[in-house]
A = this chain, B = another copy of it.
Amino acid sequence: MKQKEIPYKIYLEESEMPKEWYNVRADMKNKPAPLLNPQTLQPMTAEELGAVFCDELVAQELNETDPYIAIPEEIRSFYKMYRPSPLVRAYCLEEKLDTPAKIYYKFEGNNTSGSHKLNSAIAQAYYAKKQGLKGVTTETGAGQWGTALSMACSYFDLDCKVYMVKVSYEQKPFRREVMRTYGASVTPSPSETTEIGRQILKEFPGTTGSLGCAISEAVETATTTEGYRYVLGSVLNQVLLHQSVIGLESKIAMDKYGIKPDMIIGCAGGGSNLGGLIAPFMGEKLRGEADYEFIAVEPASCPSLTRGRYVYDFCDTGKVCPLAKMYTLGSGFIPSANHAGGLRYHGMNPALSQMYEDGLLEARSVEQTSVFEAAEQFARVEGILPAPESSHAIRAAIDEALKCKETGEEKTILFGLTGTGYFDMVAYEKFHNGEMSDYIPTEEDLAKGFAGIPKIV
């Protein structure tokens, strides 16, 4: 069949948008290992998880059997406000690279949160509302997840308490103000509002905070305030379930035009975007219906998959969340301060970790200067100024397209463009001024992180 002429951007009709999320774990032969209670080292029960998370989300977290889960009507209505996101044919980039490769990207940045995080935020807010809760708590670093959650809570008239790492609260006031526009209360962490916050302030009076501390404050507030639960923007399997909307839309759009990608590339921090993008394609691979090459791209400064260990570890530096079996650098591992490109999470979603362990997924790491070079090149020819995180995938896509130029292969590449970099201009400024450097952890650096991993057989 002759291919239809492919437009620059493929937008699905509303009627073509997915009505179900795809739960890739249902098709995995080797299931991801269960979350463990850090006290008992037994698998977390629904009841235990329900003290921290919403009931319906707990059910999704534990569901390894249903391949499809209906997207509630209210969430689908919200999706229609900013979705379908475009599947873009990168004609200009192809021309600039002079490559025979065909490059596509799924662009998730055309919404005020600036990224794909909104896909899960709205689902989590919906289930919280449905359960009759008053509000939710979360932590945020630079603010991408906090922004998405604020938007979602505003839509469902839920209270949203965000603990923002103090240094970001003070030095990156723009995202804070976006969150306030959506009615969230944003508290610099550590704060006087929690027991753990007060302790830390007493012990370290001048501290500028950390993500671990913000998580601890958010969890404490959720578990000690009537009608509140804690929500998380990545790492968990429920988040990957919601994010499958990215891959499903991509697949529907590609099928419509008879396009089959040879290679699917996503950046990987906690795994929410990568897992969502590849989900339905991985499903075909798991069921033996088709084959694809999947590539996870991570920063060389925080190489969870490429240099991490596949073991049980704490999900948070505060060690208050359940233990997960995953590729990890140790919850105490912190990338060098000169790392500007996001994706600084020490671990990786458990399902993706299992897929990587099973050889279903490749991983590679890239250095940040080359990531920003790719970002700038992409911005100039494709018109979109990408988030540093997304630019890891751009780097790998460009590298693959250049390989095709050498070999003459006409590969079809799909990558995830998770978001825009409008709130990351400080990092771009460093890059423009030649002040950006690369950092690769030494074996000693890694050993320190590994030392903090609990010994669980």
Task: Give the Cβ gap from A61 to chain B, nearest Cβ, in Å.
Answer: 27
- Chain B residues contacting A155 (CB-CB under 8 Å) are 92, 380-381, 383
Partner of A82, one of B78, B383, B420: B383
Partner of A14, one of B7, B82, B425: B7
Closest to A112 in B: B385
- Chain B residues contacting A384 (CB-CB under 8 Å) are 111-112
**Do the beta carbons of B82 and A177 come within 8 Å of each other?**
no
> Mostly helix, strand, loop or mixed at chain A's interface?
helix
**Do the beta carbons of A173 and B429 come within 8 Å of each other?**
yes
Number of copies of this chain that the complex holds = 2
Say yes or no: is A178 at the interface (Cβ < 8 Å to chain B). yes
Of the listed stretches A37-45, A180-188, A445-453, chain B binds A180-188
Say yes or no: is A8 at the interface (Cβ < 8 Å to chain B). yes
Say yes or no: is A31 at the interface (Cβ < 8 Å to chain B). no
> A374-385: contact bitstring with B at CB < 8 Å (1 yes, 0 no)?
001001111111
8 nearest A-B pairs in the assembled complex, by CB-CB distance: A174-B425, A177-B425, A8-B80, A112-B385, A154-B380, A7-B14, A422-B422, A177-B429
For this complex, 18 residue pairs linking A to B, each with C-beta atoms less than 8 Å apart, are A7-B13, A8-B14, A9-B80, A92-B155, A111-B383, A112-B379, A112-B385, A112-B420, A112-B422, A114-B422, A151-B383, A173-B425, A174-B174, A174-B422, A180-B429, A181-B385, A183-B380, A422-B422
Which residues of A approach B to under 8 Å, CB–CB?
7-9, 11, 13-14, 78, 80-82, 92, 110-112, 114, 151, 154-155, 173-174, 177-178, 180-183, 376, 379-385, 420, 422-423, 425-426, 428-429, 432
